[in-house]
A and B are shown apart, each in its own frame.
Chain A
């Protein structure tokens, strides 16, 4: 991907992220995820109905990579079934960790396909993965 386009997508999602701001609603799964290695600290909430992700929201303080990755991931996951969301998440994680992954599944999330060149930012890119994966794990525990 062209570097200017990559930067533009990341900046658009950093400056005006999707669904930033939490709401009062007990029908959501909730989690707070902070990075072990830096200062990113975000709270997430996710609503699932009939096995479909209806909404994901977040709030907190994080860098350009964490914030934009969260925004793009939210856009990618809303409306997906839980199983499809899990596929996107695992492929995203594989991409960040330089393993084989299905590019077609990731849409705009591929803007982070070179993040491994900055090892200290891999955790930033993985923060929304960790949060949403943990909430889906909690869903399994409820079942």
Chain B
């Protein structure tokens, strides 16, 4: 779909590293270039024409995000990416509201950004991290979550789609359960928001984090959506210009309203504008169309690789465009280097899910992660390379 919109695809590459970052369509590139070429200016501090254009575009991105994930625009905070968003939740809100002995439910398929901040917080204030066991397909179920909930459970924090197994968690049911049991629900949407329809309100999310560059937008920008009442109780992690109303010699100060108080300093203006353009672009294609297309490709790929005896697949059942595998007897990085010789771009490693090895019993995998601009020809090229991988070391050494 829409392949002509992507300049990088003219290089005859197969881009299967969309879980790490995505290609940029011309409209996003043009919006960033337009800002830099025609109306470079800082936000909220200029009365000249260029600044007025920039302000309008920049502020409107909150409205675009709010209609995209169904939240209020005042609940949309611009961040540098999902990592910063998740850290703001943990250290800006949770640190203030949790106490020693409070339990946070995680699971071992999570990305580092949704585990390491919690580990640090547990060392700082004594919260207890509990890992919900995954099922036989390495997926997370509400049933297993319920088994881990106690009277001390205060937070359930999870990725809506995990970045290695790619299972889609039932955030609607989990959110409902959290809401009914007075448990905070923190969702890492880095791998879900770009690929499927996500509804912040309907799923009773308290916080939702995602990154711009994984959804056709620029790097360096992301979003934290937070329920307004919680944002009122959240502390900023950064203080400085743009986020204060006043401060005095005697130490008095007042912060600006939400969400501006969480956006100290000059924000990534070009990137925010680019992200807005990216979201408009995705909404125009339709998130259901994107998800369905990826699932068709995944099904096609699974069907083709089942006949290749030396390919080990770890996530046949997951309902997303993520495909984790190894070539039998070949270290993941060697496989990735081999595929690069066919201009097929994939990623090798633990994909920042460093505790997942405890569950799948293997530390490193090759990950194919698809997007709407991938097509059946891309899959055929991958399958052909994998079929011929018997002499892989003649290529990589």
Contacts and interface: CB of A to CB of B under 8 A. Distances in A.
Interface in B347-397: 348-350, 363-364, 393-394, 396-397
A7 B349 contact: no
Given A39-B349, A39-B350, A39-B364, A61 B393 contact: no
Interface in A1-55: 6-7, 10-11, 38-41
A64 interface: yes
B331 A10 contact: no
Interface residues of A, number: 18
Contacts of B348: 38-39
Nearest to B394: A7
B332 A39 contact: yes
A23 to B, nearest CB: 22
Given A39-B332, A39-B333, A39-B350, A64 B396 contact: yes
A92 B394 CA distance: 24
A120 B310 CA distance: 26
Contact of B397 (A10, A39, A40, A62): A10
A63 B393 contact: no
B235 interface: no
Given A10-B397, A39-B348, A39-B349, A64 B363 contact: no
A40 B393 contact: no
A20 to B, nearest CB: 13
B59 interface: no
Nearest to A14: B393
By DSSP majority rule, is chain A's interface helix, strand, loop, or mixed?
Answer: helix
Interface string B114-132: 0000000000000000000
B334 interface: yes
B333 A40 contact: yes
Nearest to A7: B397
Nearest to A41: B363
A7 B393 contact: yes
Interface size class of B (residues with CB under 8 A): 10 to 19
Contacts of A41: 363
Contact of B363 (A61, A65, A118): A61
Nearest to A15: B329
Nearest to B330: A64
A11 B397 contact: yes
Interface in A83-130: 118, 120-121, 124
A63 B349 contact: no
Contact of B331 (A7, A63, A120): A63
Contacts of B332: 39
Interface in B150-208: none
A120 B348 CA distance: 13
A61 B337 CA distance: 16
Contacts of B331: 61-64, 67
A2 to B, nearest CB: 13
A120 B396 CA distance: 12
Contacts of B337: 63, 118, 120-121
Nearest to B392: A64
11 contacts: A7-B394, A7-B397, A38-B348, A39-B348, A39-B349, A41-B363, A61-B331, A63-B334, A64-B331, A67-B331, A120-B337
**Nearest 10 Cβ contacts at the A-B interface:** A39-B349, A63-B333, A63-B331, A7-B397, A63-B334, A64-B334, A10-B397, A39-B364, A61-B363, A39-B333
Interface of A: 6-7, 10-11, 38-41, 61-65, 67, 118, 120-121, 124
Given A63-B333, A64-B331, A64-B397, 8 more contacts: A7-B393, A39-B348, A39-B349, A61-B331, A61-B364, A63-B331, A63-B334, A63-B337
